[in-house]
Amino acid sequence: MFTSGLQHVAAMYAGVVAPPMIVGPACGLSATETAFLMGACLFTAGIATLLQTLGFWKVGARLPFVNGVSFAGVTPMVAIGETAGPHDALPVIFGAVIVAGVLGFLLAPYFSRLLRFFPPVVTGTVITLIGISLLPVAFNWSRGGNSQAPGYGSLTNVGMAALTFLIVLVLRRVLRGFLQQIAILLGLIAGTLIAIPVGITDFSALARADLIGFPTPFHFGAPRFDIAAIVSMCIVMLVCMTESTADMLALGKIVDRPADERTIEGGLRADALGTALSPLFNGFANSAFAQNIGLVAMTRVRSRFVVATSGLILLVLGLSPVAASVISLVPLPVLGGAGIVLFGSVAASGIQTLASAALEKGDNALIVAAAIGIGLIPIAAPDFYHHLPEDLLVVLDSGISTGCLVAIVLNLVFTLRFSLRSARFPRFRLRRRADSRRGARRDAPQAF
């Protein structure tokens, strides 16, 4: 359980610490304060993951689901940081996140009723987009992760990513049983060890880290409630709920436990409650991590208690900067090589779902083509929408959200059109049949 849980943490670690690494400097934080913010986000990701996997009452999907800081909120939080000033930025962000979490918790029962709008043609499209949307992240990691760094895209970085990619494939092919299940973790360890003599492993964070560091509640000040910030974060919350719904549907198919309305309602409540509690410990909005779905699909370890173990590991990492620094020793190129396999597995699961969506019937193929085409715009052309109002970019900059909305709307339009066209004559026949019955009863003897 520990090694499988650690494998999940290794797969999502970079995704958790990336938002505070961006938001912290934008809000005027020093390197030490940004490191504190990273630890706080790890801690709150552990809380949200435990809420999601173990749950209580009607909270939690109780699926092998990892939760962490949502990247959807980075853009509006940076904008809030630039307008509010260095001293007020984080309190304003935390106040907006609290309100967004409470709103999401209240909306969860109603949002989960949208499940009927996610037939296989929609879910398959969204799952495929999740995998395709994550692949550029793996490509960026493979080149070094930071485009401003001098070695970005160098032969060394790309070569390490390619080597790790090959190691993971060979381990998955050669190993059996338990060792095959942790092939990703073994590949990351092997890649990191090889990267030490190559010179791309950074030990500086480990040298500076403290042994224990509890995320003091409201370390950056009491939350403040600004209307504009609240509106923007509430929009982010709706985007996160849409993506989490798609992720739960994807994971439900992978673990052979289709996510029903109750499961999605509990999962959205866990997302929202984790988001509302996160600012208490200086964290941000939480949502499902799609990259870990690929890990479940590859390892076939479907136990939610394994992922709950990863939640406990995240709590320890948040309480011990030294332990968190050990995980951060994995170079991004090594993580990128393994990520290509992980994220590709998610896309493959979506293609499997589309195979059962009867694309040869009706307009299903057209729905898939249009949704994937629109969903790929933010991936292939990141600046495509940037002349539009910034409030719209929260949704439009997410290929998963835009593709999901297009698939749902087109499925409703084409299904409604088909239903209206095919419902005319049956109604007429039913009336004729009813009229004939009334005529027969009128002509029948009174005793009958």
The pLDDT of residue 273: 92
CA 126 to each of CA 52, 160, 312: distance values in angstroms, whole numbers, following the listed order: 21, 31, 30
- The angle at the Cα of 360, spanning 354 to 362, to the nearest 5 degrees, equals 105
The pLDDT of residue 443: 46
CB atoms within 10 A of CB 408: 20
- The angle at the Cα of 258, spanning 254 to 261, to the nearest 5 degrees, equals 140
User: For 424-446, how does the pLDDT look when each residue is reduced to its tens digit (9 = 90+)?
Assistant: 544 444 444 444 445 544 444 44
The pLDDT of residue 259: 80
The pLDDT of residue 31: 63
The pLDDT of residue 102: 92
Q: What is the pTM of this model?
A: 0.66
DSSP letter (8 states) at residue 66: -
User: For 362-387, how does the pLDDT look when each residue is reduced to its tens digit (9 = 90+)?
Assistant: 788 888 899 999 988 888 888 888 88
The pLDDT of residue 436: 47
The pLDDT of residue 206: 66
The pLDDT of residue 426: 46
The pLDDT of residue 222: 85
Report d(CA 383, CA 114) in Å as an integer: 31
CA atoms 85, 86, 92, 98: torsion sign: positive
The pLDDT of residue 440: 46
The pLDDT of residue 14: 67
The pLDDT of residue 348: 80
CA 271 to each of CA 187, 198, 244, 361, 417: distance values in angstroms, whole numbers, following the listed order: 31, 40, 8, 36, 35
The torsion of the CA quartet 107, 112, 116, 119, rounded to 10 degrees, works out to: 120
The pLDDT of residue 370: 92
* CA-wise closest residue to 159 among 340, 344, 337: 337
Single-letter code of the amino acid located at 14: A
Residue 135: both structure tokens together = 């692949």
CB contact burial 4-25 (16+ within 10 A = b; e otherwise): bbbbbbbbbbbbbbbbbbbbbe
Report d(CA 22, CA 138) in Å as an integer: 18
Q: What is the pLDDT along the chain (448 residues), one digit of tens a residue?
A: 888 888 888 777 767 877 786 677 777 777 667 778 888 888 999 999 999 888 888 888 888 888 888 776 776 787 777 676 667 788 888 998 999 999 999 988 888 777 677 777 887 887 788 778 778 878 888 888 777 778 888 898 999 999 999 998 998 888 876 677 677 778 888 888 998 888 887 776 666 666 676 777 888 888 888 887 787 788 778 777 877 887 888 888 888 888 888 888 888 999 899 999 998 888 888 888 776 777 787 777 888 898 899 999 988 888 877 766 666 677 888 888 888 887 787 788 778 778 877 777 778 888 889 999 998 888 888 888 888 876 677 667 777 778 878 888 888 888 765 555 555 544 444 444 444 445 544 444 443 3
Question: Looking up tokens 């509430």, which residue turns up?
Answer: 234
> In what helix (H) or strand (E) does residue 286 lie, and over which residues does it extend?
strand 286-288
